[in-house]
Amino acid sequence: MNRPAQVALDLAVVGLLFSGLRFSGKALGAILRLDAERATADDIALGGVVAAWLAFGAQTFGGYGRPLAYLLLGAGLLGLFDRAWRRRVRQSGQTLRERGNWATRAAQGVILASLGSAWLAALAPPVAKDALVYHLTVQKSYLAAGRFVELPHNIFAYFPQLVEGLYACGMSVGGDRTAALIHNGFGWLLCVVAYRLADDSGLSATSCWLTAAVVAATPMVWLEAGWPYVDLALAFYLAQALRWLWRWQATGRASALATAGVFLGGAASVKYLALPLALALTPVILGLLATRQATPSLWRVASTLALFFLPMLAAAAPWYVRNLWLTRNPVFPMLYTLFPTQSVGWDANRARLHLLFLQGYGSETKDWLDYAMLPWRVCWLARADDIRRYDGEIGAAYFIFVPALLLWRWMTIRLRSLAALVVAFFWLWAFSSQQARFLLPVLAPAAVVGVWLAVDWLGRARRLRVVGILSVGLLLVANALRAGELALEGQAIAAGAGNIPAEDYLRAKLPEYGLFRFLSERTEPQARVWLVNVGARAYYLDRPFITDYAFEDYTLGRLARASRAAEEMAQAVAALEADWLLIALDTILDPRTTPFENEAERARFVAYLQQYATLVRQDGRLALFRLRR
């Protein structure tokens, strides 16, 4: 199939998948007799929970891949005949065509430029690390088997898989670019819900559009909208939960509170990060309850929390119950001290190393001054691909949130709930793994509060309103320029537009790709490859492989320590049943990064290579050896 036809097919598949989610969610809402005033985003969110359960069932009992995809695509076709939905789409189009002020038009332009360019980037072959390590690689293994298969060496295979289940559907009937396009769709939905959060908070129409533009222009949002990751879907589900919590606070309907819990359960079906978000939401729920009842009884508090958290647990149950069954740890591989789990790919030592690795993000010292300056540092100094600078970028626009906290007494209860959530989660984040990407779920709430300060609160004086809009606009431009810089550096837009051939793009971005192609073309299909410090990006390797994922040289170091001579090490390696070794020798032999504890272990490994391996090909820092058993 030529590229234009493949792109058209992928777009059709993604469009039908989202239509299928909406149709499924609408059907579930009708069955459960939920609020009839649900928006399209509400139905899509409910449909995602339905799809997660269907994906889990197909993984467990078989039919994962095309049968599941055809079910959702069929629902999507039925959804296209929904007159009410088509009428709602026309009304939305008319609303967009209504002439707004210059600030509104500028904000709409930023949204279209940012997410539209990210859409082009999503058409490029996937090269983002986590996608090639597990988001796509795990699904590739499941699709080959037609069901769930345990991958004990890949600790990420135990993560919740709501979004990856959608990726599997797209990949089974379209190309792998459907995955990034699906995540791009969640980016658009996140901007829609950010607008709704601002609107529900009482902000002006201009402020609502500026809020959505702040989210869309975030450098990390732009990057992820072109990657097959899951964080934008997580942020979408959290925003949905917030909106339904507000509906419960306004109406007192238990169904609204339970629906909010289901949406947070959707978030928990996307990523473990939803669990600390649930913790941060708890005081928000109690605060909203206090507005309905000045001194709620203990029973009232307990029943309210139960009505929220039980639907959450029910919605997310499949992934956590399966982990409990397989590993005795519902959040494997996290919380090892609470759930000590011994498995082929995990143990106490690796859990300790993993914790140290996660704590390595952010400033090296982490003293009181670092924590005091953390909001400023993460907004102004963060950079992608640098763990000491938070490995991601959210941009300076979110720093407006900090002075907005000084105006707590002027905030409405809804603005206070957003501010409280952001502050609570930020502190949890500050004392855990300081990855900028983990802040994505609370960026929309932070943007609402920041824009409220700059435009609506200052806007009580007409001249200050213009100053506030221009200030937000300047920060938006700064964020957009940084996103543009990242786009030029990554060349994903050029590759997505077809200006760079896919093979050239993959060879330029992935040092291991050339050797993967060599293995695919020159070895037998059953040849087994041992990957050591290659990056564990195994998606493009069409051969059976073994690797340690989190710590790729862990097994190598363990074998070297357990052996007394090259002969013993050869016997231990033979037990791995590997025919080839693809290894980054520079990091293995460099004293600063070696897994060997002393020179004797290093010499033992070198002797093993000399006696039992043959160097077949070297490509840059990577070397490919043929192993002799």
* Mean pLDDT, residues 323-328: 92
Q: How confident is the model at residue 527 (pLDDT cuts 50, 70, 90)?
A: very high
State the pLDDT at residue 99. 64
Query: Which residue, 521, 444, 483, is CA-closest to 238?
Result: 444
Q: Which range has highest mean pLDDT (298-307, 458-467, 482-491)?
A: 298-307
* Mean pLDDT, residues 592-617: 93
State the pLDDT at residue 181. 98
Q: What is the pLDDT of residues 350-396, one digit of tens each?
A: 888 888 888 889 888 888 888 999 999 999 999 988 899 999 999 99
State the pLDDT at residue 187. 98
State the pLDDT at residue 82. 84
Q: What is the pLDDT of residues 242-271, one digit of tens each?
A: 999 999 999 999 999 999 999 999 999 999
Phi, psi of 355 (to 5 degrees): -65, -45
State the pLDDT at residue 2. 84
* Mean pLDDT, residues 432-450: 96
Residues 6+ apart with CB under 8 A from 131: 179, 180, 227, 228, 229, 539
Q: Inform me whether the pLDDT recorded for 98 exceeds 80.
A: no
The crossing angle, in degrees rounded to 10, of helices 40-61 and 298-327 is 40
Would you say 584 and 533 are in contact if contact means Cβ atoms under 8 Å apart?
yes
Would you say 361 and 435 are in contact if contact means Cβ atoms under 8 Å apart?
yes
**Strands 613-619 and 580-584, bridge-based pairing:** unpaired
Least confident span in 340-349, 434-443, 498-507: 340-349
CA dihedral sign, ordered 431, 436, 437, 441: positive
State the pLDDT at residue 102. 86
Least confident span in 44-53, 99-108, 477-486, 600-609: 99-108
* pLDDT, mean over the chain: 93
Q: Inform me whether the pLDDT recorded for 235 exceeds 80.
A: yes
Task: List, in sequence order, every residue forming a beta bridge with 580; answer none if it has no partner.
Answer: 529, 626
Which two tokens mark 537? Answer: 């990006």
Spatial separation of the C-alpha atoms in residues 476 and 494, rounded to whole Å: 24
Q: What is the pLDDT of residues 408-429, one digit of tens each?
A: 999 999 999 999 999 999 999 9
**pTM greater than 0.75 (yes/no):** yes
State the pLDDT at residue 276. 97
Quote the percentage of the chain above a pLDDT of 70.
Answer: 99
Cα angle 130, 136, 139 (rounded to 5 degrees) comes to: 135
Return the higher-pLDDT residue of 232 and 480. 232
Quote the percentage of the chain above a pLDDT of 90.
Answer: 77
Which two tokens mark 522? Answer: 């020159």
What's the 3-state SS for 545-571?
Answer: EECCHHHCCHHHHHHHHHCCCHHHHHH
Assign 511 to helix, strand or coil: coil
Task: Give one word for 596, left, alpha or beta, with left for phi > 0 and alpha for psi -120 to 50.
Answer: beta
Residues 6+ apart with CB under 8 A from 446: 398, 401, 418, 422
Residues in the chain, overall count: 629
* Mean pLDDT, residues 575-588: 94
Q: How confident is the model at residue 195 (pLDDT cuts 50, 70, 90)?
A: very high
State the pLDDT at residue 350. 87
Q: What is the pLDDT of residues 114-159, one digit of tens each?
A: 999 999 999 999 999 999 999 999 999 999 999 999 988 889 999 9
Least confident span in 128-132, 216-220, 547-551: 547-551
State the pLDDT at residue 92. 72
Would you say 167 and 179 are in contact if contact means Cβ atoms under 8 Å apart?
yes
Q: Inform me whether the pLDDT recorded for 86 exceeds 80.
A: no
State the pLDDT at residue 36. 67
* Mean pLDDT, residues 496-522: 94
Q: Which residue has the tokens 């079906």?
A: 269
Alpha carbons within 13 angstroms on the beta-carbon side of residue 124 total 29
Assign 56 to helix, strand or coil: helix
Query: Which residue, 165, 212, 162, is CA-closest to 187?
Result: 212
Return the higher-pLDDT residue of 598 and 37. 598
| Cα separation of the two ends of the chain | 42
Residues 6+ apart with CB under 8 A from 406: none
Would you say 122 and 496 are in contact if contact means Cβ atoms under 8 Å apart?
yes
